[in-house]
Structure 1
Amino acid sequence: MATAAENLWVAQQRPLITAWIKKQFPCFDAIQEHLLNISNVVPQRFILCFFGFLAIVNAYTMRHCLDIALAHIVAPKRKQIRLRNLDTVKLSSFNLYERMEQHRNGTLLSFSYRRHGKDNTYDWSDQLQTFILVSFYVGYVLSHMPSAQLAMRYGGKWVLAIGLAITALLTMLTPAVVKWGGPLALIAIRLLIGFSEGPTYPALSELLSKWVPSKERATLGSLVLSGSQIGISMGNFIAGLLLHRYDWSLIFYYFGVCTLLWFIGFTYMCYNTPEENPFIKVREKQYLQKEIGLVERCQHKTTKTPWRDIFRNLPMWALISATIQYDWTQLQHAAEVPQFIRDAKQQPLIENIINGLQNQMPYIMNWLLSVLSGVISDLLVNYEIFSVTVMRKLMAFVAAVAPNLYDSLLPCLTCSETSNLFAFCHCAINVLGSYYAGIKLTPLDMSPNFAATLMGIANGIGSISGIVAPFIKHSFAGWSQFKIVHAFLWLISTLLISGDIQPFDQLIPLTSDPYKIE
């Protein structure tokens, strides 16, 4: 958390920055007055959660825009892959399994869209495209733990804001890198994009631990943390509309500008703690201080992280295992049942809009079920029908059973039962929404003081699935047996997670190196 000297410096610089903005933008006063009116009506914790939700939405649109644009960057090949006599396969948001399979058997994907006018596509091998896609996850994993420590030390606001702002700038540079730098430069910039986007979840966890009381944790936490589903859905849908008429590079500019606009609103309206927020009402501040105990938890600069106790904690390992299983399942389902699109050049815009909405419905329903699961969880806990731990385990169990049931029923379907295949897939993806009210919230439950660290560990390790999953699938002989192990680990993890505050949550005075394991 920022020191008094740092807070004083920020307070001194704020009027200068405000004066410069007013000079550049004459309408700033009207916008400021409108925002103040909103802050007087809407509680500040809701405003922070809204911007936190948009942060994850923007992060995922920028993460997956290359997955969509790659179909138009790379020249189409002669060979095609068709599944169940449907339309040509398109890159999905997590289309890594097919990539590995293609460069093993020598087949290549054919894409529905083609560039108009002069052909500026590139002849990249499938193996090279795989490395381009995976490079993001390498940087993403590496930045989780450092960003978690920065968020605990200086607050989550600027760690989140600066990380996404850098991601936006690098995303907007991507078209130039593709055209002038080549594939190796693209791998490098994707690595940097992943590294700068890595702080998103740890920084948001730090902010939520300071702003969201336990009575509202499942509702607001699920709303914010499940923004990834809306990000994927909006990214695919908007990108499809843009590609209908414009060049692929516009995707990167559009999502980058949207994130920079979010950056302006977030940095002006949101703060690390209620005590720093000048817009918060006294009543709301007192409520949050009573429910959360802010004053006691603002000493991260003078405390050390209990690394040994964290890694010796059984519920912590259950959280890590459950996160790995979820990320693995999400990758697997997105790869086994890819999205199918039609050639936008041969269809009217309205039909492309309808097809796009149909393709994104699983993600939208997933998000709605996430929020609904959070509301139900808070109601049952607040009325003391279930404890927090029981509620988290119940939601986690629902999220674990549905995908495994889908895996069991999938081999029973014939090639002619395509509608049943998609119905089962949609149900599996939808029910996965309860994961956010069951597992994703447990870092906030287990240790409000070190929520950023727990999220950095669990989400960082879980994201390794995006790197190793393609290789393991094709190198492991007993794949069906491995699926059984995967299902068993997920079910066991749901039984061992905890919604109770763990012993290592106590703040320990800093007397030595904060990163030394003692």
Structure 2
Amino acid sequence: MISNKGPSIGARHLQVLLLFFAIGVNFITRAYVSVALVAMTDAETTNPNFYEFNWNEKERSYILSSFYWGYMATQFPGGYLSRILGAKTCILIATVGSSLLNLLIPLTVYWGGWQVYCAIRVGQGLFQGLVFPSIHAHLAKWSPIEERTRLGGFAHLGVQIGIVLAMSLTGLIAASDFGWPGISYIYGGIGVVFCTIWIIFAENCPADARFITSEERKYIISAQEGVESKTKQRIPVPWKAILTSGPYISLLVVQSSQGWSSSIMQTQIPAYLHGVLNMDIKSNALFSTLPYIAMLIMSLVFLFGAGIVLKNQWAPLGVVRKTLNTIAMWGPAALLIGVAYLDENQKALAIAFLTLNAGLNGGMTIGSGLNAIDLSPNHVGILMGLLCCITNIIPIITPLAVGIIVYDETQRALWKIVFIIAAVFFFFGNLQYIIFGSTNTQPWNDADYQQKHDNKQNNSSHSTMTKTDTVNSIKSDSLKEVVS
């Protein structure tokens, strides 16, 4: 074990703090639209001084899902680009592009309608598709194995912070003198300011970092022996081994299941509160935010709890991950079924269930959210790119499916179907993760895995050819004897 870890608060913590803000800023842009759409299509409940758009439920569903059309397309290339350009450049490109497009929304949506809004959201998704493959690649470079859960969990708290800010501030901005156009201007401006800070302080890896002590650099690099460094030759990607890996396939399934249910929470809850529980946008924004405040608080509880358990070696990492994932998925599954049977007369109980649902779901980050780094620190950018590419098909489908099922958002019976389907995804997704999931570093993570695999195949092929030659030689000798 390395005794000298450098300063207790050092460069690795600065990088994780920057990742926390990077995730938060990008998640604000991703999540605020569900509340903004209520303001843009129902001015009477927000600010009647601004233009109101007459968009129906299907058109609003297109807007909500359009972000993920672009987001899915660049996830896989994002994994490659993070290896080639480095996480610093990729995250900068993603945040700048997404923020600048935000500023265009009020200037273009008047004449372009919901179609141009969809186009802008597709563009934002294209940029943000680079974010999470780069985030995990950056964490793999900067997080020593023994600190990976704590540092990775803290960085991912940016998800909850981003959603909380988007849900809580968006309604307030829309109801203020800025109106709904101010939403895009303020969030776009925040993104541009963050990018300036990112350019100054972000570093791709400890070996190249400026703001780091020699002790901390030695500690991080020594604790990550075998992890690909930017200064070394890149490790070939063992595609066949990855695509046939049971633990990785299990991770794909559990994340896809979670994606369905979480996209329901992020994009549909404002419409549910407005349509079924008859809340105006101000109270809607408040109660839409409560679940994510609960998620933030519970994520902190899960993060520190897992840290204590792992530090004292009370349970192995695999048990910790699967336990938290079970709490995060089976608890919400039961609560969603409960919500499905509540109506306007049980408003307080419905909000309590939704809040507790999101709070328990905060365990997903420490559960399966960081599992890709466990499986392969060297290829985590590729793993996350492929993972996010597949799982983000789900948020494209979800709003469209809800738009078909909930043809009248005031009908509780229609929302019941939506919530029960989400509960089923939660239950079976986690069940298979318990059975097939793993936190063991996979053999194909090794730097020379592909070379060994190729050599083994070549040797096997050579051995087969040698046996064939021997058999042919024996047959030839036998034939000669017969002839003679």
**TM-score, normalized by length of structure 2?**
0.81
1:450 to 374, 379, 393: 379
Residues 1:181 and 2:121 are matched in the alignment: no
Corresponding residue number in structure 2 for 1:61: 28
Corresponding residue number in structure 2 for 1:254: 186
> Matched residues in 2 for 1:264 and 1:481: separation?
43
Corresponding residue number in structure 1 for 2:319: 390
> Number of residue pairs matched?
430
Corresponding residue number in structure 1 for 2:138: 207
Residues 1:328 and 2:268 are matched in the alignment: no
> Could you say if the C-alpha distance between residues 454 and 295 of structure 1 is closer, same or farther in structure 2, counting changes exceeding 3 Å?
closer
> Could you say if the C-alpha distance between residues 510 and 135 of structure 1 is closer, same or farther in structure 2, counting changes exceeding 3 Å?
same
2:86 partner amino acid: G
2:359 partner amino acid: N
| Structure 2 contact 65–399 (Cα < 8 Å) conserved | no
Q: Which moved more, 1:252-261 or 1:125-134?
A: 125-134
Residues 1:313 and 2:245 are matched in the alignment: yes
1:193-220 deviation line (CA, Å, top 9, x unaligned): 1100111111100100000112222222
Tell me the CA shift for residue 403 of structure 1: 1.2
Q: Which moved more, 1:407-416 or 1:146-155?
A: 407-416
> Matched residues in 2 for 1:487 and 1:253: separation?
40
Task: After TM superposition, list the pairs within 5 Å mapping 1:84-483 onto structure 2.
Answer: 112-116=45-49, 120-245=51-176, 246-293=178-225, 296-298=228-230, 302-333=234-265, 335=268, 338-339=272-273, 359-411=288-340, 413=342, 416-472=345-401, 474=404
| Structure 2 contact 69–125 (Cα < 8 Å) conserved | yes
> Matched residues in 2 for 1:125 and 1:407: separation?
26
1:422 partner amino acid: I
> Matched residues in 2 for 1:236 and 1:426: separation?
13
| Structure 1 contact 220–374 (Cα < 8 Å) conserved | no
> Could you say if the C-alpha distance between residues 374 and 483 of structure 1 is closer, same or farther in structure 2, counting changes exceeding 3 Å?
closer
| Structure 2 contact 273–279 (Cα < 8 Å) conserved | no
> Matched residues in 2 for 1:41 and 1:491: separation?
39
Corresponding residue number in structure 2 for 1:85: none
> Matched residues in 2 for 1:150 and 1:231: separation?
25
> Matched residues in 1 for 2:167 and 2:47: separation?
17
Identity %: 24
For the pair shown, the structure with the greater C-alpha radius of gyration is: 2
1:491 to 418, 423, 431: 431
Q: Which moved more, 1:128-137 or 1:327-336?
A: 327-336
> Matched residues in 2 for 1:60 and 1:214: separation?
27
2:198 partner amino acid: F
Tell me the CA shift for residue 298 of structure 1: 3.3
Q: Which moved more, 1:333-342 or 1:451-460?
A: 333-342
1:112 partner amino acid: T
> Could you say if the C-alpha distance between residues 472 and 180 of structure 1 is closer, same or farther in structure 2, counting changes exceeding 3 Å?
closer
Tell me the CA shift for residue 475 of structure 1: 7.3
2:387 partner amino acid: A
Structure with more helix by fraction: 2
> Could you say if the C-alpha distance between residues 482 and 393 of structure 1 is closer, same or farther in structure 2, counting changes exceeding 3 Å?
closer
Secondary structure of 1:226's match? helix
> Matched residues in 2 for 1:328 and 1:135: separation?
15
2:89 partner amino acid: W
| Structure 1 contact 362–426 (Cα < 8 Å) conserved | yes
> Matched residues in 1 for 2:215 and 2:299: separation?
29
> Matched residues in 1 for 2:206 and 2:107: separation?
42
Q: Which moved more, 1:492-501 or 1:169-178?
A: 492-501
| Structure 1 contact 392–498 (Cα < 8 Å) conserved | no
1:503 to 439, 443, 448: 443
> Could you say if the C-alpha distance between residues 263 and 402 of structure 1 is closer, same or farther in structure 2, counting changes exceeding 3 Å?
same
Secondary structure of 1:257's match? helix
> Could you say if the C-alpha distance between residues 250 and 401 of structure 1 is closer, same or farther in structure 2, counting changes exceeding 3 Å?
same
> Matched residues in 2 for 1:485 and 1:258: separation?
35
> Matched residues in 2 for 1:267 and 1:447: separation?
28
2:294 partner amino acid: M
- Name structure 1 gaps, 5 residues minimum: 1-38, 77-110, 345-351, 512-518
> Matched residues in 1 for 2:167 and 2:265: separation?
17
Tell me the CA shift for residue 327 of structure 1: 1.3
1:367-413 deviation line (CA, Å, top 9, x unaligned): 22223212222322232221111211111111121111213434554
Tell me the CA shift for residue 163 of structure 1: 1.0
Secondary structure of 1:498's match? coil
Corresponding residue number in structure 1 for 2:15: 48
| Structure 2 contact 327–360 (Cα < 8 Å) conserved | yes
> Matched residues in 2 for 1:298 and 1:412: separation?
54
| Structure 2 contact 103–184 (Cα < 8 Å) conserved | yes
| Structure 2 contact 336–353 (Cα < 8 Å) conserved | no
Tell me the CA shift for residue 454 of structure 1: 1.3
> Matched residues in 2 for 1:128 and 1:163: separation?
26
Tell me the CA shift for residue 496 of structure 1: 1.9
> Matched residues in 2 for 1:373 and 1:430: separation?
10
- Name structure 2 gaps, 5 residues minimum: 1-5, 407-413, 452-484
Tell me the CA shift for residue 184 of structure 1: 2.5
Secondary structure of 1:263's match? helix
